[in-house]
Amino acid sequence: MAPSKKGILERLDAGEVVIGDGGFVFALEKRGYVKAGPWTPEAAAEHPEAVRQLHREFLRAGANVMQTFTFYASDDKLENRGNKLTFTGAQINEGDALVAGGVCQTPSYLSCKSETEVKAILKKQLDVFTKKNVDFLIAEYFEHVEEAVWAVEVLKETGKPVAASMCIGPEGDMHGVSPAECAVRLVKAGAQIVGVNCHFDPMTCVKAVKMMKEGVEKAGLKAHYMVQPLAYHTPDCNCQGFIDLPEFPFGLEPRILSRWDMHKYAREAFNAGIHFIGGCCGFEPYHIRAVAEELAVERGVLPAASEKHGNWGAGLEMHTKPWVRARARRDYWENLKPASGRPLCPSMSAPDSWGVTKGHKDLVQQKEATSQDQLKQLFDRSKSH
Amino acid sequence: MAPSKKGILERLDAGEVVIGDGGFVFALEKRGYVKAGPWTPEAAAEHPEAVRQLHREFLRAGANVMQTFTFYASDDKLENRGNKLTFTGAQINEGDALVAGGVCQTPSYLSCKSETEVKAILKKQLDVFTKKNVDFLIAEYFEHVEEAVWAVEVLKETGKPVAASMCIGPEGDMHGVSPAECAVRLVKAGAQIVGVNCHFDPMTCVKAVKMMKEGVEKAGLKAHYMVQPLAYHTPDCNCQGFIDLPEFPFGLEPRILSRWDMHKYAREAFNAGIHFIGGCCGFEPYHIRAVAEELAVERGVLPAASEKHGNWGAGLEMHTKPWVRARARRDYWENLKPASGRPLCPSMSAPDSWGVTKGHKDLVQQKEATSQDQLKQLFDRSKSH
Amino acid sequence: MAPSKKGILERLDAGEVVIGDGGFVFALEKRGYVKAGPWTPEAAAEHPEAVRQLHREFLRAGANVMQTFTFYASDDKLENRGNKLTFTGAQINEGDALVAGGVCQTPSYLSCKSETEVKAILKKQLDVFTKKNVDFLIAEYFEHVEEAVWAVEVLKETGKPVAASMCIGPEGDMHGVSPAECAVRLVKAGAQIVGVNCHFDPMTCVKAVKMMKEGVEKAGLKAHYMVQPLAYHTPDCNCQGFIDLPEFPFGLEPRILSRWDMHKYAREAFNAGIHFIGGCCGFEPYHIRAVAEELAVERGVLPAASEKHGNWGAGLEMHTKPWVRARARRDYWENLKPASGRPLCPSMSAPDSWGVTKGHKDLVQQKEATSQDQLKQLFDRSKSH
Amino acid sequence: MAPSKKGILERLDAGEVVIGDGGFVFALEKRGYVKAGPWTPEAAAEHPEAVRQLHREFLRAGANVMQTFTFYASDDKLENRGNKLTFTGAQINEGDALVAGGVCQTPSYLSCKSETEVKAILKKQLDVFTKKNVDFLIAEYFEHVEEAVWAVEVLKETGKPVAASMCIGPEGDMHGVSPAECAVRLVKAGAQIVGVNCHFDPMTCVKAVKMMKEGVEKAGLKAHYMVQPLAYHTPDCNCQGFIDLPEFPFGLEPRILSRWDMHKYAREAFNAGIHFIGGCCGFEPYHIRAVAEELAVERGVLPAASEKHGNWGAGLEMHTKPWVRARARRDYWENLKPASGRPLCPSMSAPDSWGVTKGHKDLVQQKEATSQDQLKQLFDRSKSH
């Protein structure tokens, strides 16, 4: 790291907008390098050039933060899925971007392991972040505030800035703790930045972070706020988020946000006082570029990738067909209600709701793949729901 | 080229299934390297590593053919859009894949230039293909069979195998020539492979190629068939295809095909006797992988990228949540009707239909970008339609 | 009948627009007087005041023609359904309206009875029409032009004007005879008015009648034209019409046309040169009123029921809420795209298509109700389709 | 009234299910006798046979209660709409049904008239109810609990049983008073039956009444409960209900509930402990019949109109087409997701939300129809919302 690089807290304290990257596992799954289901990050070792290319694209799109590609990289998770991996971390270090080391929820917690055991698992991942000297740490994708607090406590020991991001919506965590209360506990545990990521669409996530902010302010505390939502529309989710939607994870295409949806998201988040704005599953580089373009005035800069993008469709001024040239204007795209081309499909789904969470035997970790017999039972149960 | 590599015609003659790649301009637009509107391929020179990475991903997904990234690279088109480019061509040459040099329709034709002029424009692009010794040539994305025939005549002079692919649907070309008649003319002009690409969704394209096949057979001729459709559902298109849809090109997300849609497409194409099966705009590597997986038995091989993909969702057997594990089965994904998450949007759109085609003054090429005045007039006209 | 009443042909010859009524069986089913399934008209005897009230409402809405409530009243049909009825006919005779006696397709035809047998069945129904001295006759709801021609031949013997209306769409009759050819045969058989009714939505029916008109004119013949479509949107029907839609007959609500849809229908029909414009299943009195209001200028009169209806929503000028008053204008209602309030439902359905028609054993008439065993077999077959 | 007829409270106290009728103004508007906008009940005088026929149909469908057709019949409302009417009341008295006299919210309240003034207006309507000796009284369609309480206080003076029904959803009244609190105040004011009617779909209304019941029980009070919802799906409403939907009142067709939706509603209401179950705007006789059929076992009787209705589609066993016979079963209709046939329409709408309620100048009553100038201003405002 160049010593002159401004840290995440300096930037946020100065009122800067910091733009995050998008979710790597979903983007690399579509490119053929990550397996849906286990979602483990072995691509970093197996196909580093593919991972680097995606980093490059998000940076070019305007991202200021590069998260290490270490989702689900805790030892218990990797082992759980039949991998024993020895690598990790950020393979890229370009320009002015901050590198953030990330940890996320552990199978051990869902299996009711003790605080000591869970913290030990989380701690193991810190070594490499310390060695690589990442700029700050993110505890993200926690469904239970109890485990998120433990993670913050572990991360704080490094002395680096700590962000804590839960995968919850306005209904709160899986034990029913409200976003406001979650945020207060995380700030009290030492997180300087709090927010939500994954599981819900941008507007739902912004709503949840607003509730966090109100809670923190009501408690007389101070924090910065972050949001890294899905790039999928999820108005029909219940409290567990998009995982419960019948389309997860292989039928989500019709829900993908357009770049114009991203403009609305970026504006809404900024107006809510959230200054660390990024993405999660479903985000492609052009989605991050749209966030950066919406906030170009506030940030004083357009991203590099905007050389290949006309503002609000302006590039269409050069299209061959006159009726397409007529779409080269903001109000056209801002008001478009895009059709799905799927007249036999509904617009919303009824999510699965098995009512199973931490401690339930179905969630206890097992090293073996689910057996055919176990799967048969699951299929039968899924039909009775 | 290794002398041992089997050519496109040898493969098709032997009854092999040949898998094409996906459309580069749309994929690279999302990655930040191509500008929507002009859609010109300067990324090949500006960001060769990004183009190479995409080539690599399509190959890994199972593609046997790499098309040179030369869409809209005729001199008149490039000049039209304010670029004067000196480069072109395929920057990649990996494994067993065939390299195909492509030419497409020219602005000159729409501006009513003569056969001589249009042929001269097309011919210019051949030099580089000859120099690079591509394996075969494709004349693709032609809306008018007259120009497509000219292109075939030009390409034939190289002595290489020639494929001809029009961007038409079952209603035929922009002058109302039926797919059957188009195919007959192209075969008579010397094309060994005929088919359609772009402009319509897979099922519509397969239907059009079936009509071509019937026409060719009825005429007592012989040919191979190819199809490279959009990865967007377009049941609501008129004869000009997806360009007329109000969502083109920045609001197409809800129309993106899922991998399961691709399985149906691959099977339908194969059953129709089409053996060169690929993709165009909207295709991502995982879409091509789905085509390759559906035809794995017929081809005797799974693509490399299938190491990261469980058959019909099998990877979900290892998912943390039991109700997601219950989705690890073919009938679940085969029957899913995915929701859009967009309850305020319709499922179909009314396409623009200005009734403007070759020879209309609105389509005559101009070197300058459309002026603000011209745009204003277009906006007003678009409202009256 | 008062001698001064102008006949149907006089009116049409004079260029008048004649407005039909709506379908009685569906309207009376909703009111509790007709049983869906058999659809037989015993209400005329059991609850004459309810039938009379509906006649009154359609007249008040602008209808010029009252069809006798004798749908499916042929002896073979009634017997088929376990009823042996001794009554029939029109119980109302008000004002200037014409009374039309109707016959429709017979189970005997589908069971492959001979021309002689079918004609005998049809003839039996004529006695009562002759006795009651109806103003003209309609042979309607025929799926096969062969049987429709037989019906016209029978009706012609009365000397009264004969209209012939088939329940077909643009794809033609169940044997694939085109609307144009059907119309020609019917006119040659002696029908003075030809058209279509039931089975499809208004725009589809108008399209089919246009094809009839072109056929008749091409053949150098002359006729008047009629259309009496469904009040349900059916863009997803196959050639057999709405009966094949999964929603038939108890889930059709979301498809019901609004009054504004009826304005478009009336205009389209009139512009196509169709001057006998009415309705069939799903039409309520306010739908007929909308037809009459759209053509008020052409007809020179508003219907009586318009005293309770402001033109294009004008009645809302007196609404309590200002934002509802703001809807008191034509362009609001003309452009409204009404939502279904059903986000879990699709916008189109895949129709049943068992490929069964005349002569198939499943269609042969039987006197007994379908047995439980037969039903079980049907349910199993329906799942495999 | 025969002295032997059991009163409403006796029935509810005995645990009987009492079925209400449907909304008269909407049903009669479709039949041509009521004008949308003013919605005043002059049809009772002008076309008594049409009103009587509808009463008869609801009774035949299973209704135990006939509400007098006196919606919006307060003097200030009638005058407001340019009518000065001298009639009112129930013109029918058949069998065992109870007759309920109804009053509803007054324009005077919205114009901020005093309690004395509003009560005087309400009181005036009581005279006729007393003279006709109705069985009980309903204060219904109140948006503000304050006015509803005044109405209950007025009605109590008659000594007859009083039901109080507000047109609110789970968000409470227009001043934000919760359903629970509204119910408590109404019970304290003397209402023996409380509930909601109109404005929302059945499931939403049941939810609101459940909240009322919880509130009443928590307060240690006792009451009976009623629900008379719309027959329109309204998942997209805000707190003001369906009036704010852009489809109100002339584009609601796609939202109409099917009979099967009514089965679910009746069961849900019954399970929630609501025993006075009826309908409001949009209900047709067959909707009430479906409620009565769902609760046939609990009530020990099928309605008369069920002679024309096979249980769960059983009447289709006699349909001509075998694939329609295959629909003669409960699970078919219970699981059907009916399509709208409107692929260009969305499934949900964004409601108007002008934020205008009691006391706002836009709501102050005026005797004149809105002028063209005022309308112009409204149109312009509606575009800016």
The amino acid at residue B316 is L
Report DSSP state, residue C311.
G
Looking at residue A178, its pLDDT comes to 98
pLDDT at A89 over 50: no
Is residue B11 within 8 A of residue B269, CB to CB? The reply is no
- Of D171 and B5, which is predicted with more confidence? D171
Q: Which two tokens stand for residue B54?
A: 């995409």
pLDDT at C92 over 70: no
Residue D367 burial by Cβ neighbours in a 10 Å radius (0-12, 13-18, 19+): exposed
Per-residue pLDDT tens digits for C227-277 = 999 999 999 999 999 999 999 999 999 999 999 999 999 999 999 999 999
Spatial distance between the Cα atoms of A370 and A357, rounded to a whole number of angstroms? 18
Task: Domain A8-312: give its CATH code.
Answer: 3.20.20.330
Per-residue pLDDT tens digits for C317-375 = 988 888 999 999 999 999 999 999 999 999 999 998 877 667 677 766 666 666 778 77
Spatial distance between the Cα atoms of D334 and C377, rounded to a whole number of angstroms? 20
Contacting residues of A for C348, CB less than 8 Å apart: 343-344
CA distance A234 to chain C (A): 13
Is residue C193 within 8 A of residue C8, CB to CB? The reply is yes
Least confidently predicted of A97-101, A357-361, B158-162, D262-266: A357-361
D346 → closest Cβ in B236, B343, B350:
B343
D338 → closest Cβ in C49, C61, C247:
C247
CA distance D236 to chain A (A): 12
Is residue C237 within 8 A of residue C175, CB to CB? The reply is no
**Sheet of D98-104, strands arranged across:** D18-19, D276-277, D224-228, D193-197, D162-166, D136-142, D98-104, D65-67
Nearest CA in chain D to C328: D375
Looking at residue C107, its pLDDT comes to 85
Find out whether A182 is annotated in a ligand binding site: no
Per-residue pLDDT tens digits for C125-151 = 888 888 888 999 999 999 999 999 999
Cα-Cα end-to-end distance for chain B:
52
CA distance B350 to chain D (A): 8
Is residue D103 within 8 A of residue D151, CB to CB? The reply is yes
B-interface mutation test, from D236, D237, D335, D344, most B Cβ less than 10 A away: D344
| A190 CB neighbour count, 10 Å cutoff | 14
Q: Which two tokens stand for residue A21?
A: 């990257």
Measuring CA to CA, how many Å separate D45 from each of A363, C316, D40, D302? Answer: 69, 23, 11, 33
Comparing CA positions, the residue from D60, D56, D94, D22 lying closest to residue D303 is D60
The amino acid at residue A39 is W
For tokens 């902010």, the residue is: A213
Which backbone phi and psi does A56 adopt, to 5 degrees?
-55, -40
In this prediction, residue D86 has a pLDDT band, given cuts at 50, 70 and 90, of: very low
- Of B265 and A127, which is predicted with more confidence? B265
Length of chain A counted residue by residue:
385
Per-residue pLDDT tens digits for A73-85 = 666 665 554 443 3
Spatial distance between the Cα atoms of C208 and C220, rounded to a whole number of angstroms? 19
- Of A339 and C374, which is predicted with more confidence? A339
What are residue A102's DSSP bridge partners? A138
Q: How many contiguous H segments (helices) and E segments (strands) does chain B have?
A: 17, 8
Is residue D288 within 8 A of residue D19, CB to CB? The reply is yes
Q: Which chains touch A (3 or more CB pairs under 8 A)?
A: B, C, D
- Of A81 and C152, which is predicted with more confidence? C152
Per-residue pLDDT tens digits for B102-141 = 999 988 898 888 999 999 999 988 888 888 889 999 999 9
pLDDT at A113 over 80: yes
CA distance A347 to chain D (A): 7
What angle do the packed helices C285-294 and D24-31 form, to 10 degrees? 50
Report DSSP state, residue D132.
H
Secondary structure string (H, E, C) spanning B288-303: HHHHHHHCHHHHCCCC
pTM comes to 0.92
Comparing CA positions, the residue from C361, C192, C379, C169 lying closest to residue C275 is C192
Measuring CA to CA, how many Å separate B75 from each of B71, B116, B158? Answer: 11, 15, 20
Spatial distance between the Cα atoms of A35 and A369, rounded to a whole number of angstroms? 14
In this prediction, residue D132 has a pLDDT band, given cuts at 50, 70 and 90, of: confident
Q: Which chains touch C (3 or more CB pairs under 8 A)?
A: A, B, D
3-state class of A101 per DSSP?
strand
DSSP D318-377: G-SSHHHHTT-SHHHHHH-----S-TTS-SS-PPP-----TT-GGGS--SSPPPHHHHHH
The amino acid at residue D128 is V
| Percent of all residues in chain A with a pLDDT value above 70, rounded to a whole number | 89
Contacting residues of C for A348, CB less than 8 Å apart: 343-344
Q: Which two tokens stand for residue C246?
A: 């999964």
Find out whether D182 is annotated in a ligand binding site: no
Least confidently predicted of A29-38, B140-149, B315-324, C157-166: B315-324
Contact at CB, C259 and D250, closer than 8 angstroms? yes
Looking at residue A321, its pLDDT comes to 86
Spatial distance between the Cα atoms of B212 and A267, rounded to a whole number of angstroms? 50
**Annotated binding-site ranges of C:** 198, 280-281
| D355 CB neighbour count, 10 Å cutoff | 8
- Of B350 and A89, which is predicted with more confidence? B350
D344 → closest Cβ in B343, B344, B348:
B348
Q: What is the sign of the dihedral through the CA atoms of A338, A341, A344 and A349?
A: negative
Looking at residue B379, its pLDDT comes to 75
Residue A159 burial by Cβ neighbours in a 10 Å radius (0-12, 13-18, 19+): exposed
Contact at CB, B33 and A336, closer than 8 angstroms? no
The amino acid at residue D102 is G
Measuring CA to CA, how many Å separate D260 from each of A114, C139, C259, D263? Answer: 51, 35, 25, 5
Looking at residue A131, its pLDDT comes to 85
Contacting residues of D for B347, CB less than 8 Å apart: 343
Contacting residues of B for D345, CB less than 8 Å apart: 346
pLDDT at D93 over 70: no
B379 CB contacts (<8 Å, ≥6 apart)? Answer: A326, A329
A242-276: string of b/e by CB count within 10 Å (b at 16+)?
bbbbbbbbbbbbbbbbbbbbbbbbbebbbeeebbb
| Percent of all residues in chain D with a pLDDT value above 90, rounded to a whole number | 74
Hey, where are the domains in chain B?
Answer: 8-312
Looking at residue D2, its pLDDT comes to 47
Degrees to nearest 5, angle at CA B185 with B184 and B188: 85
B233 → closest Cβ in A305, A341, A370:
A341
Nearest CA in chain A to B316: A37
Contacting residues of B for C350, CB less than 8 Å apart: none
Measuring CA to CA, how many Å separate D272 from each of D16, D181, D265? Answer: 14, 18, 11
Contact at CB, D347 and A348, closer than 8 angstroms? yes
B375 → closest Cβ in A245, A317, A337:
A317
Residue A355 burial by Cβ neighbours in a 10 Å radius (0-12, 13-18, 19+): exposed
Degrees to nearest 5, angle at CA A269 with A267 and A270: 65
D307-345: string of b/e by CB count within 10 Å (b at 16+)?
ebbbebbbbbbbbbbbbbbbbbbeebbeebebbbbbbeb
Contacting residues of A for B32, CB less than 8 Å apart: 57, 60-61, 285-286, 289, 304-305, 308-309
D341 → closest Cβ in C37, C233, C343:
C233
Measuring CA to CA, how many Å separate A378 from each of A352, A365, A368, B312, C172? Answer: 13, 16, 16, 16, 49
Alpha-carbon Rg of chain D, whole angstroms?
Answer: 21
**Chain D residues with a Cβ under 8 Å from any Cβ in chain A:** 337, 343, 346-348
Contact at CB, A348 and C350, closer than 8 angstroms? no
| D356 CB neighbour count, 10 Å cutoff | 17
The amino acid at residue B155 is L
What angle do the packed helices D285-294 and D259-271 form, to 10 degrees? 50
Contacting residues of C for B348, CB less than 8 Å apart: 347
Least confidently predicted of A114-118, B1-5, D71-75, D340-344: B1-5
B33 CB contacts (<8 Å, ≥6 apart)? Answer: A305, A308, B43, B46, B47, B50, B51
Q: % helix / strand / coil in chain A, to the nearest 5? A: 45, 10, 45
Spatial distance between the Cα atoms of C295 and C283, rounded to a whole number of angstroms? 17
In this prediction, residue C10 has a pLDDT band, given cuts at 50, 70 and 90, of: very high
CA distance A343 to chain D (A): 6
Cα-Cα end-to-end distance for chain A:
52
Strands (E), B143-210: 162-166, 193-197
A337 → closest Cβ in D337, D343, D346:
D346
Spatial distance between the Cα atoms of B321 and B332, rounded to a whole number of angstroms? 16
Cα-Cα end-to-end distance for chain C:
52
For tokens 């994904």, the residue is: B333
Contacting residues of B for D337, CB less than 8 Å apart: none
For tokens 């009940």, the residue is: D41
What are residue D137's DSSP bridge partners? D101, D162
Contacting residues of C for D344, CB less than 8 Å apart: 337
Contacting residues of B for D236, CB less than 8 Å apart: 343
Least confidently predicted of A341-350, B164-173, C33-42, C75-84: C75-84
A10-44: string of b/e by CB count within 10 Å (b at 16+)?
ebbeeebbbbbbbbbbbbbbbbbbbbbbbbbbbbb
B315 → closest Cβ in A37, A201, A333:
A37
pLDDT at B80 over 60: no
CA distance A385 to chain D (A): 14
